[in-house]
Amino acid sequence: MINSSVSNCPVPTEQQPLNEYEELKSSWLFRDCTLSWGEYITKIAWIGGFSALLSEPVVAASFPPQKYIPQFMLCTAAGASIGVILALVRLYLGWSYVRDRLESPIIFYEESGWYDGQTWTKPQSVLMRDRLIVTYQIQPIIQRLQITFAGLAVLFVAGTIVWHLV
């Protein structure tokens, strides 16, 4: 998306925070955060399922499923959560980066390479627009990710309790 409302903006198009937001929102992994709760959880469950498939052979070497069913299941779930956590961290860092760029009144950008960084101060209208996007579009996504992290923490605690009871 080309931001035509800021015609005097010296920031290259691909480095403008609004365009970074639009690009992130349309990329395959990050757009999953914008889905309904049910669809979002389904996508996270798919990541967990794929991670479980990868962790099962490793877990089976330590806890053969024929002898240690509860331990096998708990360790497989823990192994599956590693993939989920890595995906969630990536999502959180990406959305946080864009949030910070949109909230900031001053934008750092590179004209042609790492050696010629510049800054641009956003006009008040652009800053207000960007902060509205953060408040109504990005902050709910970040809260959703935080809730997901909290849910995983609860599952870890529950798994630890069950492990000690088995």
Q: Name the band, by pLDDT with cuts 50, 70 and 90, for residue 47.
A: very high
Q: Residue 6: its pLDDT value, please? A: 52
Say yes or no to pLDDT of 14 above 70: yes
Q: Residue 106: its pLDDT value, please? A: 96
Rounded distance, CA 10 to CA 64, Å? Answer: 61
Tell me the mean pLDDT in the region 59-66.
Answer: 95
Boundaries of every domain in the chain: 37-165
Say yes or no to pLDDT of 2 above 80: no
Tell me the mean pLDDT in the region 49-58.
Answer: 96
β-strands 117-121, 106-110: how paired?
Answer: antiparallel
Rounded distance, CA 58 to CA 4, Å? Answer: 53
Rounded distance, CA 96 to CA 74, Å? Answer: 32
Say yes or no to pLDDT of 113 above 80: no
List the beta strands (DSSP E) in 35-153.
106-110, 117-121
The C-alpha angle with vertex 110 and arms to 106 and 115, in degrees rounded to 5, equals 120
pTM for the whole structure: 0.89
Q: Name the band, by pLDDT with cuts 50, 70 and 90, for residue 8.
A: confident
Place of tokens 């914008």: 34
Mean pLDDT (the chain) is 93
Q: Residue 17: its pLDDT value, please? A: 96
Better-scored residue on pLDDT, 41 or 111: 41
Neighbouring-strand partners of residue 118: 109
Say yes or no to pLDDT of 38 above 80: yes
Contact 84, 44 (CB under 8 A): yes
Say yes or no to pLDDT of 130 above 50: yes
Tell me the mean pLDDT in the region 5-16.
Answer: 80
Helix axes 69-103, 124-133, angle to 10 degrees: 160
Percent of the chain whose pLDDT exceeds 70: 95
First to last CA, the chain: 55
